[in-house]
Amino acid sequence: MASSSSGTPIPAPEAVQVLVSSLADESPMVRDASMASLKDVATLNPLLVLDCCSAVSRGGRRRFGNMAGVFQVMAFGVRALDKKDADPSFMVKLAKIATAEMISSKELNADWQRAAAWLLVSIGSHLPDLMMEEIFLHLSGSSSASPAMVQTLADFASADALQFTPRLKGVLSRVLPILGNVRDINRPIFANAFKCWCQAVWQYSMDFPTHSPLDGDVMSFLNSAFELLLKVWASSRDLKIRISSVEALGQMVGLITRTQLKAALPRLVPTILELYKKDQDIAFLATCSLHNLLNATLLSESGPPLLDFEELTIILSTLLPVVCINNDSKENSNYSVGLKTYNEVQHCFLTVGLVYPEDLFTFLLNKCRLKEEPLTFGALYVLKHLLPRLSEAWHTKRPLLVETVKFLLDEQNLGVRKALSELIVVMASHCYLVGPSGELFVEYLVRHCALTDQDRSDLQRSKEVSASGKAYVPLQHTRVEVKIGAVCLIELRAICEKGLLLLTITIPEMEHILWPFLLKMIIPRVYTGAVATVCRCISELCRHRSLNSNVMLNECKARADIPNPEELFSRLLVLLHDPLARDQLATQILMVLCYLAPLFPRNINLFWQDEL
């Protein structure tokens, strides 16, 4: 047994040959163990493994039962090679083995074919021109292997954008002549390839911002491909073709000329919006393309926005109900897709807000006032997301937002209540909560901190947030409901409890709103369920102002609407009857009684001390 330069023993060629042969064993466990061992050996001596694998691959998959495994090991071995060990003649040999298998069948995306493609990609990481020349030999209109070759070029662009992008012109010059004759079944492959190639260009441009890979020829090729995808493929009856075309167009919009982009908008925008009538996965892909389109049309450094705000309203109205996707149960298998879609939707609104902040603000407030649950819910979450990011542009609009939130305080839908509670917390962090309206919003949070499981029978069941008869409402067959089960009540209560604590602990400007107003929240019976949280907030306020007890006392006396000390003491003492109540109620009450001792008359304090 030989040894590597590091002293690690390397199996003899015969042992490696046995391992390669074991890749075709009937037992999956043996095949997996053999592949793992071969990859270990390849890290020490990749050439040895590649020689043994190439020997068994000469007969193809008809003579060897697991060509996919062989190609996977070979791809790993090629990646493990040092640049100096990548002999061009040997790499040509391996590339021809891979392409010979790929062109031997019309089957697409078989495991062995995908493994062969990744072997070519691995070869391209060392010798990209050599790999591409081998692929170009089989890339013609009459070749049934063209889709597989195009897919391999797409994989290479995704794996190594920096080496692929300078060679994009050669790829496009060979693909464009055959693009018009591509069969329907293969169009998603070609569209996906254009998406990957454009993504590689974007990656290259970020890494080398001063060097543009797009010369006149490349731009001409891209413009021609864009027109074909937009006018023919994107209008196909086949949903897969439409989706893949929209994905590709979404990546191309920032690369084509502004003149072509402006001319394409009347057709491109409806094409993308039409996909929102499908399921969540498609909505996510459509939103990604829409985000790229908005960036290209509104934020380009080459000129003014290509869309007026009035032209954007149909897009924004389509996007608002999509926010509801992320409000479904987190146990749902589509939660991850919903979250990504939600984030993309917010990116779209931010892009519009950077260009038309006042128009967008008015648009969102109007949607809130319609009290149509999907639109109101979506608008509230967009406001919550954009408020910190557009705070300067919206500074003068504060009274309008406050009035709109007050208008929604009686809304019964739990989803809207949840969104409204979260928005109130964000508003507080930006000093929107002042004076009587500030106290009104704090009371709103306290009211929902007091929710109990028994409240379910008293709440009106939320309406299903689904498609209406309007054309722009997405996800028409997807049931996205803001549920009113016990879990949702608990979630709403938890959000309000955390929000109230955040206002108390992290926002100094809220102190003069919360104190002594929170004392009022202890007395009403309807807020009994929130007393533990209210007491904790009062304790935090008192702890921060422990050196100003006289000031606190004077502030209480200055307001006639604050309960007198005897009422407070009696109420808290009565609530102590249930020491095992949720949220450590008894502990929070005892803590508050200690902090509020300076407020109580002497006889109450003596009684309290005797009891302790």
Write the CB contacts of 136 (distance below 8 Å, at least 6 apart in sequence). 170, 174
Cβ-in-10-Å burial (0-12, 13-18, 19+) of 304 comes to exposed
pLDDT above 70 (res 476)? no
pLDDT above 90 (res 202)? yes
Confidence band for 427, pLDDT divided at 50, 70 and 90: very high
Per-residue three-class SS string for 553-584: HHHHHCCCCCCCHHHHHHHHHHHCCCCCCHHH
pLDDT tens-digit map of 428-458: 999 898 889 999 999 999 999 998 766 655 5
Quote the tokens at residue 175: 């693909």
CA distance 142 to 571: 88
pLDDT tens-digit map of 212-250: 888 889 999 999 999 999 999 999 999 999 999 999 999
- Mean pLDDT over the full length of the chain: 85
Tell me what pLDDT residue 303 has: 87
CA distance 445 to 425: 9
CA distance 305 to 541: 49
pLDDT above 80 (res 98)? yes
- From the list 143, 142, 66, the residue with the least C-alpha distance to 99 is 143
* More confident of the two residues 329 and 548: 548
Across residues 105-132, what is the average pLDDT? Answer: 87
- The region of weakest confidence among 12-16, 129-133, 205-209, 550-554 is 550-554
Across residues 184-213, what is the average pLDDT? Answer: 93
Tell me what pLDDT residue 473 has: 38
Confidence band for 475, pLDDT divided at 50, 70 and 90: very low
* More confident of the two residues 582 and 138: 138
Question: What single-letter amino acid sits at 19?
Answer: L
Tell me what pLDDT residue 67 has: 84
pLDDT tens-digit map of 33-54: 999 999 999 998 899 999 998 8
Confidence band for 209, pLDDT divided at 50, 70 and 90: confident
Tell me what pLDDT residue 421 has: 96
Q: What is the DSSP letter of 303?
A: S
* More confident of the two residues 225 and 559: 225
Tell me what pLDDT residue 326 has: 60
- The region of weakest confidence among 87-96, 456-465, 522-531 is 456-465
